[in-house]
Structure 1
Amino acid sequence: MELGRDFIRALKQIEADKGLPLEVIISSIEAALVSAYKKYKGTNSNAEIELDSENGIIKIYEMMEVVDTVRNPAYEISLEEARSLGYDVDPGDIIKIEVSPRDFGRIAAQTARQVIMQRLKDAERQVIYNDFSAKIGEIVIGEPFKDEEGQVLIRIGSKVDAILPREERIPTETYRPGQRMKFYVLDVRKTSRGPRIVLSRSHPGLLKNLLEIEVPEIKEGVIEIKSIAREAGVRSKIAVTTLDPNVDPVGACIGARGSRIKAISDELAGERIDVIIWSSDPMTYIKNALSPAKVVKVEPRLDEDKAVNVYVRPDQLSLAIGKGGQNVRLAAKLTGWKIDIHVMEPDRLPTLQDLFEDIVKGELPKEWEIKE
């Protein structure tokens, strides 16, 4: 049976439009035609169909078992008939017999059309799944186009849709249709309706990837990101280090006049980003992590594992804690240590006010005591 070269040109057009390899399309059509042939025959025959992608010729074969006595003509052929057809076989062998059923071309076209389209759709979905599975942990660019029950639908390219769940949004951010944005590929799963691609704007991985884009030294491995703590859209802390004594890792991340870090902040709805030096010494690391607050002393707590008391001057207390406890919370998340902030009063000589308060309390110096 011949479909012709026009059919092959149509297949190649599908290949171009759908972005599917021609061999995937051919195998999908062959499987569809097998299904159509079985329906045409009215039996679950063991058929095999080959489609020549050069000239559009379809060959249909029935797989038959050679037997001495035929009991099921749909699957079996007698030894005598097989040998009369020119096959050198013995009982138990399987042979392929080419058949040319009357009117199958018309029936196949009617029956297989939907099956072919579904196979192509499945193959296209598989290509999308494979493509985005390889992109988990990377950045993609997309445009919001619909807010649906708390999750924003994102269009990536011309035909791939993904979702941005409420919990993966930046809380201070709005998503306008047509607005081009960067997203972190969080997860890709197969479903009956196609790949479910989940994106994020709040994941620390988005910040890490943006740093790699903006700071060549990170991409080249000169600077290493050790840890990231993030409260999306509000504030983040990043710990960096380098083995190159000639490189200032903090300065390189911030950029000239803050240009590099500002570009990242602008992409993340104005998120404030603190870059600090990582240290292998936990006490120094914790002290750095509380920047911009100036820490006087860090002491490990003996009664609790991975916990410290941090002492600051009174004027540094609010800075160390941060608005709503944000600074100390991010520092704890960044370092993996529990941090308790304490005020350290500066050493000073007693004032007249102190002496007066002691007198009122009855706490006089010994040399002032009245002896009888």
Structure 2
Amino acid sequence: MSKEILLVAEAVSNEKDVPKQVIFEAVETALASAAKRRFEEDVKIRVSIDQRTGDYNTFRQWNIVADEDYSYPDSELTIDDSVEQSLGLAIGEIYEEEIPSEEFGRIAAQTAKQVIVQKVREAERAKVVARYSEKVGKLVHGQVKKVTRDSLIVDLGENAEAALPKDQLINREMFRMNDRIRALLSEIREDGRGPQLVLSRNVPEFMIELFKLEVPEIAEEVIEIRGASRDPGLRAKIAVKTNDRRIDPIGACVGMRGARVQAVSNEMNGERVDIVLWDDNPAQLVINAMAPAEVDSIVIDEDAHSMDVAVKSDNLAQAIGRNGQNVRLATSLTGWALNVMTSEEAQSKQQEESQKLIDVFVNSLDIDDDLALQLVDEGFETLEEVAYVPMEEMLDIDGFDEDLVNELRSRAKESLLNQALQAEEKLDDAKPAEDLLTMEGMDSHLALVFASKGIITMEDLAEQSVDELLEIEGITEERAASLILTARAPWFAESE
């Protein structure tokens, strides 16, 4: 039997290219399982094989536990038992007693075979994961081995398989068995069956890797890809920047007669690709990203991280794109929320916002329209700016002297103080309902703030939207959504 174990370990190790240690562990597990059958109780058995001779010994095990934790007499001994039997073991240690070993017979061999097969699969998967862990985010090639309802199973060679979920395919894309396929290794996912390689063809990174393949200047880092966005199968945008002024990054990516970008487009099922020149100036980057539409003007709101993009009326449809595609891709590429409108609409909006500011300054600072307009034209948007902008900057304004600046600053500070006092009085008068005060995630100050805004009960809060709550200072989008969901919980309970 000893020789047979050695022969099994040698043969399987060579055939499956897995370490002998894995095979010996499988045989030890099988022999331990066979030995357990002699006992009616749920005992713990350990088998140890001498990997040089093939001889093996079998041991029954007991865990040493505290008296109060003693629950399983067939596999546990108390610390008092250990002392009485002079075992010299502490809590947490294991006492072993050698018992007769089972022969490596038919039943043990069958069990060993099952365990070995499982161990071999696990070892093969581990080797695949080790081989592909550095390729996550890179292109891989393979052949479609199987088509299921949810995914394609792709043979990558050398016993490696990957799954390409159908929702990761490009629109209207079809593959059959034995078709060659190229995809991005997006992740190595752990599930009940072990690690699984997962592919994708519709993420922006897939397009980026294709450009690296087709454009040597990108692989050589002469040209950088700074961003990408896709509407898979329809249209995409990619932003590029050169590190060598002698090289035109757009021309290099397009290639002679469009050969390079066409090769990428063909691999993406005919997806049209706009190549955008990267610019560190966000406004200029947005202008570039909105191509082929021409931008007339841009107004930046840094607090909201958004831009109002104005175009001519006859250019509006092109700027927005079919179903909003162009502006959506430009938004994703630049990271700015883009509000596209006609030049007339932008001018009207700007005049309306300017008039609101003028009215605020006129009423709060007790000044005339002309002076308020001058402040707006100089870029002042809040009373805080009037109150605390350095005097030197205000003195640079045409017609402003020290007396005028001091008076404006004084009035602005007084107005801000009055607003703060009014807000406190309003909070003092607000009386939130008990259900709002005691709602999960609520604190007393926020409940008072809500009440001052007319949100008195949980029902009132449930009827709010996230955008409405974001107007309240200090509320994040995540907390607003959580509070609304909690307030709406009774609705769902009633519907059930």
Q: Would the alpha carbon gap of residues 30 and 325 (structure 1) be closer, same or farther in structure 2, given more than 3 Å must change?
A: same
Aligned pair in 2 of structure 1 residues 124, 301: CA closer, same or farther (>3 Å)? closer
Partners of 1:46 and 1:322 lie apart in 2 by 70
Specify the alignment match of 2:385 in structure 1: none
Indicate how the Cα distance of structure 1 residues 58 and 38 shifts in structure 2: closer, same or farther if over 3 A, else same.
farther
Is the deviation greater in 119-128 or in 236-245? 119-128
Give the 5 Å matches for 1:120-139.
120-139=120-139
CA contact (8 A) 1:296 1:313 kept: no
Paired position in structure 2 for 1:143:
143
Please, which of 40, 48, 56 is the counterpart of residue 59 of structure 1?
A: 56
Taking the aligned partners of 1:73 and 1:204, their CA distance within structure 2 comes to 59
Q: Where does residue 12 of structure 1 map in the other structure? A: 13
Q: Deviations over 1:157-191 (max 9, x none)?
A: 26444333332221121112211111222333333
* Structure 1 residue aligned with 2:202: 202
Q: 1:95-174 alignment to 2 at 5 Å?
A: 101=101, 103-105=103-105, 107-157=107-157, 159-174=159-174
8 Å CA contact 1:229–1:236 kept in 2: the answer is: yes
Instruction: Give yes or no for the alignment of 1:92 onto 2:88.
Output: yes
Moved more, 143-152 or 91-100: 91-100
Q: Indicate how the Cα distance of structure 1 residues 9 and 104 shifts in structure 2: closer, same or farther if over 3 A, else same.
A: closer
Change (3 A) 1:230 1:107: closer
Task: Give the equivalent residue in structure 2 for 1:365.
Answer: none
Confirm or deny: 8 A CA contact 1:15 1:25 kept in the other structure: no
Amino acid at match of 1:272: R
**Post-superposition offset of 1:10:** 1.1
Aligned length: 320
Please tell me whether residue 31 in structure 1 is matched to residue 33 in structure 2.
Answer: no
Give unpaired runs (5+ residues) of structure 2: 63-72, 78-85, 345-496
**SS of residue matched to 1:190:** strand
Which residues of structure 1 form unaligned runs of 5+?
A: 66-71, 77-89, 346-372
Classify 1:75/1:229 alpha carbon distance in 2 versus 1 (closer, same or farther; 3 Å).
closer
Secondary structure at 2:191 match in 1 = coil
Give the fraction of aligned pairs with identical amino acids, expressed as a percent. Answer: 35
Q: Distance in 2 between matches of 1:127 and 1:303?
A: 50
Alignment of 1:332-371 (within 5 A): 332-343=331-342
Provide closer, same or farther for how the CA distance between residues 304 and 61 of structure 1 changes in structure 2, counting only shifts above 3 A.
Answer: closer
Query: Which residue of 1 is the match for residue 355 of structure 2?
Result: none
With over 3 angstroms needed to count, the CA separation of the structure-2 counterparts of 1:21 and 1:244, relative to structure 1, is farther
Q: Is the 8 A contact 1:61 1:96 kept in 2?
A: no
Distance change (3 Å), C-alpha of 1:164 and 1:46: closer
Q: How far apart are residue 132 of structure 1 and its match?
A: 4.7
- 1:361 aligned residue: none
Over 3 Å counting, the alpha-carbon distance change for 1:229 and 1:275 in structure 2 is same
> 1:160, 1:212 → 2: CA distance?
24
Q: 8 Å contact 1:215–1:253 — kept in the other structure?
A: yes
In the alignment, the residues of structure 1 paired with residue 237 and residue 216 of structure 2 have an alpha-carbon distance, to the nearest angstrom, of: 19
1:266 aligns with 266
> Counterpart in 2 of 1:293?
293
- 2:2 is aligned to 2
Residue of structure 1 in register with 2:318 after alignment? 319
Q: Which is further off, 165-174 or 2-11? A: 2-11
* Cα distance in 2 between the residues matched to 1:234 and 1:75: 66
Q: Which has the higher contact order (CA 8 A, sep 6+)?
A: 1
Q: What TM-score comes out, normalization by structure 2 length?
A: 0.56
3-state secondary structure, aligned to 1:244: coil
CA distance in 1, matches of 2:323, 2:178: 35
1:128-179 per-position Cα deviation (integer Å, ceiling 9, x unaligned): 4555555432222233344433433333326444333332221121112211
Assess, with a 3 A threshold, how the Cα gap between structure 1 residues 105 and 145 changes in structure 2: closer, same or farther.
closer
Does residue 251 in structure 1 map to residue 251 in structure 2?
A: yes
Cα distance in structure 2, aligned partners of 1:250 and 1:242: 9
- Can you list the C-alpha shifts for 1:276-306, whole angstroms capped at 9, x where unaligned? 1111111110111112233333333699541
- By percentage of residues, which structure has more strand? 1
